[in-house]
Amino acid sequence: MGRTSNYCFDYPQTNASFTVTYVAGHITELDFPETHRKWNSCDPFTLFDAPVEVKHPQRVNELVRNIEIRARGSDMLMIWTDCDREGEYIGYEIAQVCQKVNRRIKIKRARFSAIIADQIHRAAQNPTNLDLAQADAVIARQMLDLRLGAAFTRMQCMALQNRFGNLLEGKLVSYGPCQFPTLGFVVSRYEQVKAFVPETFWYIYLALNRPGEQNGRGREDQTVFKWKRGHLFDFDVALMLYEMVLERPMATVKKVVKKNTKKWKPYPLTTVDLQKSGSRLLRMSAKQILDTADALYQRGILSYPRTETDQYDDQFDFGQYIQKQTSSPEWGAFATRLRQGEFSKPRKGKKNDKAHPPIHPTAYAGNLAGNEKKVYEYVTRRFLASCSKDAEGFQTTITVAVNGEEFSASGLLVLERNYLEVFPYDKWSSHELPPFEEGEEFMPTICELREGETTRPSLLTEADLVSLMDKNGIGTDATIAQHINTIVEREYVMERLEGNTKYLVPSTLGVGLVHGYNQIGLEKSLSKPQLRRETERSMVQVCDRIKTKDDMLQESIEQYKEVFILARREFNLIINKDQASLKVHKALKTVADEVEGMVEDEVEDQPAHPHLPTRMMIRGTDRHQLQAPDVE
């Protein structure tokens, strides 16, 4: 971070003299005391009730010392951290430091949600108090996460390494309340894919060859009509309807509906959205995208890249930022047009973290390359697109009936591309229908009973996973990418490239862990999102003072203790395979066999080791790191 800075100035509006300094994130960390720190120092189960120490990590020593010096000579501490839960707790951490060296110091809190002069002044002149309930919620979550993570991680590692140490090569088999549900999503989709059985269906295919309106080249346009029933899985019924249609195959145009239509411009950009769009369109991982955006932020090119907000403040100065983009050879002309009157206020989404605006470019950068160029271009085009008008088109929908069965076709004429001109990531193009009139009749060119098959769902992409985590409240804008990274690093999950798309496939270890926990048969498995969602809900209750932090902690700890006891028993059964119950053993064998079939193509030159317990037939993509020993 370099040298600590302090900015001093007078603020006549409140007759005060300010010294402004900073922290970067949390300044305290939790850990167990010496008695519980060593892995062999205690039974992991005791970690649920073990004491926990709060201390300043070494990296913040300089910052803390600086704050102490300032606090000694001040009457008041005013907290300006982000106005969210974590920000409230960071404020509390700072307050603790100050009070320790100056017992009489007054603690105040500035409330603001945007770096806009007017709002900063208002916050400075209307100080409030720290919301200790929010800080409590964070403390409780930290305690819970540490105890849970440590207890389960140690139990898993010790159990597995005792027996399979040679296989694991000292690898960490961690458990975390976010990483496990994340893994659970990958395994769950993988199993859906594996269990998929294609089903045959039938449908009536109806088409008419008729020249298009402006088609002067003599080519016949074919209009395909969609059957209103979609498709049927019962062949007899489909055949009966088809035969009925064939009896009187003349089609009558029932309705021609013409209406204006729009393709809406994108919402202001959040972190999760950037990661989803980015991994889909830019061929980068969620973590790469966030790291890149962060590097650009630190050079003053992008705004803060970790935000849940998809609405701009009413006082946001769009003109200033659009103006900066007018110098671009690629989208400068578009930016200029926005400045000249084509600007339209961005749509407002539903999310607001009250801490940061949506991600937007804060400077023009014309000399970027590689990933930085890709991310910058996406953010900038998205910003300009959100500041322009929706695309406009004209849609025609035709409904026809053939002996009582209905079919329809629709065409689109794009009239104004508007935001699409600067946002090539969205596709919307004209496909026009030849002219039809209500009441007219025609003889279809093609009328066939066709057969199709349901398609296998695809494995999870990283974009899918980010969406699932976001929807289920697993992780935050700042941590979602880290959790995905963790399960890849721990080799619970492998990345598999198919064509241009990267899919996530669980390893045998990943599947084994999830199945192991599911095997316990609890409704709320550790591999599912419910428990984490409950933690989140409890935190909100603590914030709303419906519950105390001690109650939250106690309730959650009890719940996890039960799971722990069952899980440990299960693990021991698996490990002492002589004593393993038949049921557990069979389940694990099935898992291993099924997995083997699925990842076979990745490991074909690695022979199976039938003497190994099936649960531990670990296979990674990287054989150099994770290889079964040769025991010929």
Partner DNA sequence: GCAAGGTC
Positions marked active-site: 304
CB of 68 to DNA, least distance (A): 17
Beta bridge partners of 221: 210
Instruction: Rule CB under 7 A: choose which of 66, 113, 134, 153 binds DNA.
Output: 153
Beta bridge partners of 602: none
Q: Rule CB under 7 A: say whether 287 interacts with DNA.
A: no
Which H or E element spans position 599? Answer: helix 582-603
Q: Rule CB under 7 A: say whether 517 interacts with DNA.
A: no
Q: Rule CB under 7 A: say whether 479 interacts with DNA.
A: yes
Alpha carbons 468 and 191: distance in angstroms, whole number: 16
Contacts of 573 (CB under 8 A, 6+ apart): 579, 580, 581, 584
Alpha carbons 129 and 171: distance in angstroms, whole number: 46
Which H or E element spans position 534? Answer: helix 530-543
Q: Which stretch binds DNA (CB under 7 A): 197-205, 228-236, 360-368, 470-478?
A: 470-478
Q: Rule CB under 7 A: say whether 178 interacts with DNA.
A: yes
Could you tell me the two tokens for 146? 């540490």
Per CB under 7 A, contacts with DNA among 44-103 are 59-60, 82, 84, 86, 90
Q: Rule CB under 7 A: say whether 475 interacts with DNA.
A: yes
Instruction: Rule CB under 7 A: choose which of 109, 381, 483, 619 binds DNA.
Output: 483
Q: 116: burial class by Cβ within 10 Å (0-12, 13-18, 19+)?
A: middle
CB of 366 to DNA, least distance (A): 24
Nearer to DNA, 411 or 506 (CB): 506
Instruction: Rule CB under 7 A: choose which of 113, 134, 142, 325 binds DNA.
Output: 142
CB of 139 to DNA, least distance (A): 10
**Tokens 């017992």, located at residue:** 103
Alpha carbons 466 and 470: distance in angstroms, whole number: 6
Q: Where are the beta strands (DSSP E) in 242-390?
A: 251-263
SS3 498: strand
Q: Which stretch binds DNA (CB under 7 A): 67-75, 166-174, 427-435, 542-550?
A: 166-174
Per CB under 7 A, contacts with DNA among 200-259 are none
Q: 420: burial class by Cβ within 10 Å (0-12, 13-18, 19+)?
A: buried
- How many of the chain's residues bind DNA (CB under 7 A)? 49
Nearer to DNA, 24 or 76 (CB): 24
CB of 40 to DNA, least distance (A): 6
Beta bridge partners of 269: 359
Q: Rule CB under 7 A: say whether 179 interacts with DNA.
A: yes
Q: Rule CB under 7 A: say whether 470 interacts with DNA.
A: no
Instruction: Rule CB under 7 A: choose which of 18, 21, 30, 263 binds DNA.
Output: 30
Which H or E element spans position 489? Answer: helix 480-489
CB of 58 to DNA, least distance (A): 11
Residue 11's CB: how many other CB atoms inside 10 A?
Answer: 12
Q: Which stretch binds DNA (CB under 7 A): 154-162, 248-256, 327-335, 382-390?
A: 154-162
Q: Rule CB under 7 A: say whether 449 interacts with DNA.
A: no
Q: Number of C-alpha atoms within 13 angstroms, CB side, residue 274? A: 38
Q: Which stretch binds DNA (CB under 7 A): 26-34, 228-236, 261-269, 338-346?
A: 26-34
Alpha carbons 368 and 380: distance in angstroms, whole number: 13
Q: Rule CB under 7 A: say whether 115 interacts with DNA.
A: no
Alpha carbons 557 and 563: distance in angstroms, whole number: 10
Residue 431's CB: how many other CB atoms inside 10 A?
Answer: 10
Nearer to DNA, 171 or 547 (CB): 171
Q: Rule CB under 7 A: say whether 357 interacts with DNA.
A: no
Phi/psi at 221 (5° precision):
-90, 140
Q: Rule CB under 7 A: say whether 294 interacts with DNA.
A: yes
Binding site for DNA (CB under 7 A): 1, 24-27, 29-32, 37, 39-40, 59-60, 82, 84, 86, 90, 141-142, 145-146, 148-150, 153-154, 157, 161, 170, 172, 174-180, 294, 298, 306, 475-479, 482-483, 486
